[in-house]
Structure 1
Amino acid sequence: MTLADQAAHDKASHVRRRILAEVPAGNPRGSWPAEEFAAEQRAAGVPAEVVMDLAGDRFLVVLRNQQLAVTS
């Protein structure tokens, strides 16, 4: 794969999700605050899930299946 092909693939593969909440990974309770918030959202009918943002060192509560392709 050429560099141009790799760049095009990376650009097409990148997705954005709506972030509902974020919790620092260094939180004394770990991911639990994010997991609890996501559970509350799911109980209210919002399709929330927790993901880890390694680059930002944080847990994110995001909308599941609400991925939007980045067009920039």
Structure 2
Amino acid sequence: MTAMIVRSVATQPGLSPADRAAHDASTLVRREVLASFPAGGPLGSWPAEDFAKARRADGVPAEVVYDYPSDAFLVIVRSVSS
């Protein structure tokens, strides 16, 4: 499993370093990657969706997102920390 921390403010160019630090400290979104599935699988095959559905049946709030740089579908669990 991999964990990523995403700071949504990173792409907003008008913020001072102090504003950026304050924003980052207050709104961190943590995403734990449970699995990665390459895009371009067989037609009609949805392995990422099937994996996420099985995790949801286990009580894990899994969801599928697409990662453009790796051209893969990621099954993730989100959590927001403050």
Mark yes or no: TM-score above 0.5.
yes
- Number of the residue aligned with 2:49: 35
Task: Report percent identity of matched pairs.
Answer: 48
**TM-score, normalised with respect to structure 1:** 0.67
CA RMSD of aligned residues (A): 3.2
- Number of the residue aligned with 2:15: 5
Deviations, residues 13-52 of structure 1 (Å, cap 9, x unaligned): 8844100011001222477100000000000000000000
Q: Which has the larger radius of gyration?
A: 2
Structure 2 unaligned blocks of 5 or more: 1-11
What secondary structure does 1:62 align onto?
A: strand
Number of residues paired by the alignment? 66
Maintained 8 Å contact 1:25/1:31: no
Q: 1:6 to 1:28 in 2, by over 3 A?
A: farther
2:60 counterpart of 1:46: yes
Structure 1 unaligned blocks of 5 or more: none
- Measured in 1, the distance between the counterparts of 2:81 and 2:13 equals 25
Greater percentage in strand:
2
Runs of 4+ in 1 over 3 A off after TM superposition: 11-16
**TM-score, normalised with respect to structure 2:** 0.60
Q: 1:28 to 1:39 in 2, by over 3 A?
A: same
